[in-house]
A and B are shown apart, each in its own frame.
Chain A
Amino acid sequence: GQNIDQPTEMTATEGAIVQINCTYQTSGFNGLFWYQQHAGEAPTFLSYNVLDGLEEKGRFSSFLSRSKGYSYLLLKELQMKDSASYLCAVPMRDDYKLSFGAGTTVTVRA
């Protein structure tokens, strides 16, 4: 099965940059997803990486290293609305079922 680790909490200042790390162990790799979840709301898709390297999408970027079993989500120019939980997820052996990490709660302070 999958073993996914990410930090529990991070705090940063408005306008700053925060990097959320995710390490995983999986028996077969079919990509890695990042989701954002605001308190009391449903998760929403942020990014998907299947090849090594950095994928940039506006203020958010996601990086993957398959050989190291490592990914990070980079949030730039932080805004108050970025305060949320960020979930790292990898597909299980059957690639349509996702295994989620516990999530990293990011708090943005003024």
Chain B
Amino acid sequence: NAGVTQTPKFRILKIGQSMTLQCTQDMNHNYMYWYRQDPGMGLKLIYYSVGAGITDKGEVPNGYNVSRSTTEDFPLRLELAAPSQTSVYFCASSPGAGPYEQYFGPGTRLTVT
């Protein structure tokens, strides 16, 4: 049971480039989330999904897009990368709503220059 996996671990992008951050979970969780974490700022929710085919915006969705075609995968797309998107990105999943812990992937450290 690998849990939540993310690729790549590190990436440097030039301004204006695009990329997709991959996230896969093998726990059959319906709920999946994307967060970004800036130094001293805590985790901010970008997008979330409550099941395949269903996604919605979180607190900071601008500049990002997501899709959820399967239960396992929840990729995050960055279009036209900007320096403000330099951050650490975490994907997480949980089995349901309410008092369930979220399981986090190891993160992707992204630098946009």
Contacts and interface: CB of A to CB of B under 8 A. Distances in A.
Contacts of B94: 96
Nearest to A41: B106
Interface in A21-54: 30-31, 33, 41-45, 48, 50
- What DSSP secondary structure best describes chain B's contact surface? loop
Interface string B74-105: 00000000000000001000101111111111
Given A41-B106, A42-B105, A44-B104, A87 B99 contact: no
Interface residues of B, number: 26
A98 B42 contact: no
A44 B104 CA distance: 7
Chain A interface mostly: loop
A87 B43 CA distance: 9
Nearest to B4: A42
Nearest to B107: A42
A59 interface: no
Given A31-B99, A102-B41, A103-B42, A96 B50 contact: yes
B40 interface: yes
A95 interface: yes
Contact of B42 (A41, A94, A101): A101
Given A87-B42, A96-B96, A96-B98, A42 B104 contact: yes
B98 A45 contact: no
A-B residue pairs, 4 tightest by C-beta: A45-B101, A42-B104, A96-B97, A102-B42
Interface of A: 4, 8, 30-31, 33, 41-45, 48, 50, 87, 89, 91, 94-103
